[in-house]
Amino acid sequence: MKRWRMYLVFLLLFLVACNKEKDALLEGIEELNVVTQNVKTKDFVLEVTTPTVIRNGEILKVKASLKYTGNKNVKLSYGDPIIRFSFTGSNYSRAYTSLGYVGEINPGKTFEVEDEFKVSQSGEQILTVRTTEIDINNVPVEGVGNEPYLKDSLSLRSIEIENSKLSHAIEVLVK
């Protein structure tokens, strides 16, 4: 009977040690799973940096930048913030005001936006990053990644607005 208890204690200690090693390995994996992805149009590059693996209850921190790659100064019209985020793994929903801005920008101008979400849902979740409507010299830019937002029920103006945005979705695994 003493031997049996000793084996049981040894087995429990072994399982606890394995679990701690797994947690340590998971932390290392999460750090390695930070990705930077981008989408490009004729005049802009939208770049997004985010973890692709995170634990439920943690804070998902995301960064995005929008760089003007044109070769001349232009008048840019956009909403503020110019880059907006949504995340399916959070119970919190963003409410953005659409203040319009107009200003001249030079080649290489970069807008940077950071945000964070309290993760509250496990499984495969989607981080969506979109710009506001963007016009160059009063002409809507040709966007990218907007197919999911184009519905038959939209007016022509709404379709034009959706098409002038840059959008990118990234899958995030919440453990």
What are the tokens at 53? Answer: 């693996």
Amino acid symbol at 148: P
* Domain 34-174 annotated CATH 2.60.40.10: yes
Q: How confident is the model at residue 148 (pLDDT cuts 50, 70, 90)?
A: confident
Cβ 126 vs Cβ 169: under 8 Å: yes
Q: Which residues contact 70 (CB under 8 A, 6 or more apart)?
A: 42, 43, 107, 136
Give 67-101 pLDDT, tens digit per residue: 999 999 999 999 989 999 999 988 777 766 777 88
pLDDT of residue 25: 45
Whether residue 17 has pLDDT greater than 90: no
pLDDT of residue 82: 93
pLDDT of residue 8: 58
Whether residue 166 has pLDDT greater than 90: no
pLDDT of residue 156: 85
**pTM above 0.85?**
no
Cβ 142 vs Cβ 159: under 8 Å: no
Q: Is 18 exposed, middle or buried (0-12, 13-18, 19+ CB in 10 A)?
A: exposed
Top-confidence residue, 104 or 5? 104
What does the buried/exposed string (b/e) look like for 41-74 if buried means 16 or more CB atoms within 10 Å of the residue's CB?
A: bebbebbbbbbeebeeeeebebbbbbbbebeeeb
Distance from first CA to last CA of the chain, Å, rounded? 40
Which residue shows structure tokens 């107009």? 102
